[in-house]
Amino acid sequence: MSLPAPAERAWPGAALPPLATRARSAAEDEDAPLIGVLALQGGVAEHVAALERSGARTRLVKVPEQLDGLDGLVLPGGESTTMTLGIEREGLAEPLRGFVGSGAPVLATCAGLILLDRAHLDLLPLDCVRNAFGRQVRSFEADLEISGLEGGPLRAIFIRAPQVRHADDAVTVTATVDDAVVGVRHGAVEGYAFHPELTGDDRLHAAFVARCRRA
């Protein structure tokens, strides 16, 4: 597969209403799973919107207590160094290890996936190489087959995306682009190097919400 020409893409978040408004307008359905979105930095509003379109209630997670009672957690993309500093500042490392280690469903995208690798929270037995697609092709889009996802290829937006390397055998590879691993599953964690929240195709979020509902 050859990659389309690089295209810088602005974060579309500026066009969305303030986060607090979106979180308050979460589905009123009490049976809907309650899914947290780590909200220290990055593409938070877009994940909240995709989760709510998929029938979930959402909660922004900025401090450890906000992990209590969640049915699942999304770790969004953004800037992993900034998020790591926020995790340290808020004392979130151990609570996140506890939450993910408990086997609760987790969806991690881009910088969120980096946070889980051996060099960060060490919750996935793999390494992420940051900005791995090189300086020239920092952002691109591709249609990817995701194993286990029905309905045909998914449009995937890569923004200074990482690649997964040295994954243990226990890690299932669910998506690749030009032989680079960009989708993984390990236990209840699914991770993607791209941004499924930016396309309006909510199939990954819908499948994740269904997984949280069953858990």
Ligand X SMILES: NC(=O)CC[C@H](N)C(=O)O
Name the site residues for ligand X (rule: CB under 6 A). Answer: 77-80, 110-111, 114, 130-131, 159-160
Q: Which is nearer to ligand X, 36 or 76 (CB)?
A: 76
Least distance from ligand X to the Cβ atom of residue 31, Å: 32
Question: Is 214 assigned to a binding site?
Answer: no
145 is catalytic: no
Least distance from ligand X to the Cβ atom of residue 27, Å: 27
Smallest CA-to-CA distance from 34 within 16, 13, 60 is with 60
Classify the C-alpha dihedral 165-161-88-185 as positive or negative. negative
Instruction: Outline where the chain has alpha helix (H).
Output: 19-24, 44-53, 80-89, 93-101, 111-115, 203-214
Least distance from ligand X to the Cβ atom of residue 55, Å: 25
Please identify which of the residues 52, 141, 190, 197 carries the catalytic annotation. 197
Please identify which of the residues 46, 47, 52, 110 carries the catalytic annotation. 110
Question: Is 138 assigned to a binding site?
Answer: no
Question: Is 78 assigned to a binding site?
Answer: yes
197 is catalytic: yes
Q: Which is nearer to ligand X, 111 or 171 (CB)?
A: 111
Question: Is 112 assigned to a binding site?
Answer: no
Cα separations in angstroms, 48 against 67, 73, 74, 141, 171? 15, 11, 9, 22, 27
Cα separations in angstroms, 56 against 46, 68, 82? 14, 16, 27
Catalytic residues: 110, 195, 197
